[in-house]
Amino acid sequence: MSEKILYSYSALFDTPDKIIHAAKTVAEKGFKKFDVNTPYPVHGMDKAMKLTKSKIGWVTLVFGLTGTLTAVTMMGWMMAVDYPIVIGGKPYFGLPGFGPIMFELSVLFGAVITVVALLMFFLKLPNNSHPVHDTEYMKNVSSDKYGILIEATDPKFNKNEVEALFQELGAEKILPIYFDEEEISFKPKIFDKKFIGFLVIVAAITSLSVYGTMNKVLYMIPFSWMSEQGKSIPQETSKVFKNGSDMLPPVKGTVARGYLPYRFKGQPDKAAELLVNPLLPTEENLALGKTKFNIYCSPCHGYLADGKSRLNGNFPAPPTLHSNKVRNWTDGRIYHVIMEGQNVMPSYAHQLSEKERWAVINYIRVLQRSFNAKESDLL
């Protein structure tokens, strides 16, 4: 048989006033390990018991900040190390953009771990055994009485003194509470083999049935999804042509409709000599040139073509287009740079139609003239 050990002395009171008074007196006498149980929250009890602020806030703070740090590290690594992409000319490590994720992870870590800490460390779950469970004391305080108990392990605890103190406070009933070895060595039922087995079976049935419906049943006739359509997929063989491809290369010696191959590939000098700008610098053409220049050229060359790049050093800044060199170039030579690119500058042939290319060149001429205006221009 297990031995009974004294857990605490408890007292029951009739009214909220009496319990407040009792809590206040017990706290003032210097007891630390005591608790109050009432059928409903009694206003002012924290103060009467001289409770200090809960430490749980620190758990939230520490793990919230861990979340913030995790987000910064994760985003920083992804954006600056693992997969750096220039987005809108922003730096790779763009802290403002990490904001939402930092916020989310702070809240997630803080909240989840606060709840887990509350249950595991402060309430000691999954062990839900406590000496006051199933006692007369608990039956009373969960219906219409107000109870206080002082634990026997309190350094100031003395059976007779505590009993006298409770009597003096006007206790209606004084009850010792015992607990036994069995309760101390209590193993929570959660770790019961049968329970774990049950959980495993539930998990297996749920995942198998979800897997079956989502991956098999939903793809059987009569269901049909876009992923089931006939289509060409890169690197896969198809039945369309004999050689197993879906498309054929263009027939030799032909060009696609509406497409004119560039005649001066790799021949800048010929382009300079033979290409002539067919567009007049009309107001309309210049407006078109300005629009296209601002969209496609100005990020690197600057709005004034003076080489003031807006890419913050993420792409080498080009030289000014107001140099004597470029001013003396023919329109055909600039056209060649747009078609073929030049060193690090890529080709812009695909972004601009033929007309737009010439319009951009006209606009560059206007910018050049504005930087080198002659006196006669003022007349």
| Residue 326 lies near ligand HEC (rule: CB under 6 A) | yes
Other C-beta atoms closer than 10 Å to the C-beta of 59 total: 18
Are 148 and 13 a contacting pair, CB within 8 Å?
yes
Q: What are phi and psi of 310, to 5 degrees?
A: -100, 15
Choose which of 22, 297, 339, 359 interacts with ligand HEC (CB under 6 A).
Answer: 297
Other C-beta atoms closer than 10 Å to the C-beta of 18 total: 18
Residue 250: C-alpha distances to residues 131, 134, 244, 274, 324 (Å): 87, 88, 16, 28, 43
Count of chain residues binding ligand HEC (CB under 6 A): 22
| Residue 262 lies near ligand HEC (rule: CB under 6 A) | no
| Residue 323 lies near ligand HEC (rule: CB under 6 A) | yes
| Residue 319 lies near ligand HEC (rule: CB under 6 A) | yes
| Residue 93 lies near ligand HEC (rule: CB under 6 A) | no
| Residue 294 lies near ligand HEC (rule: CB under 6 A) | no
d(C-alpha 295, C-alpha 258), whole Å: 25
| Residue 59 lies near ligand HEC (rule: CB under 6 A) | no
- Mask: binding to ligand HEC, 333-352, rule CB under 6 A, as x and -? -x--xx---xxxx--x----
d(C-alpha 355, C-alpha 282), whole Å: 13
d(C-alpha 88, C-alpha 82), whole Å: 19
| Residue 304 lies near ligand HEC (rule: CB under 6 A) | no
User: How far does CA 326 lie from the centroid of its chain?
Assistant: 49
Q: Whose Cβ is closer to ligand HEC: residue 165's or residue 271's?
A: 271
Q: Whose Cβ is closer to ligand HEC: residue 129's or residue 309's?
A: 309
d(C-alpha 135, C-alpha 269), whole Å: 102
> Of residues 183-212, which lie at the interface with ligand HEC (CB under 6 A)?
none
Choose which of 165, 279, 360, 367 interacts with ligand HEC (CB under 6 A).
Answer: 360
| Residue 271 lies near ligand HEC (rule: CB under 6 A) | no
189, two tokens: 């039922």
| Residue 325 lies near ligand HEC (rule: CB under 6 A) | yes
Binding site for ligand HEC (CB under 6 A): 296-297, 299-301, 315-316, 318-319, 321, 323, 325-326, 334, 337-338, 342-345, 348, 360
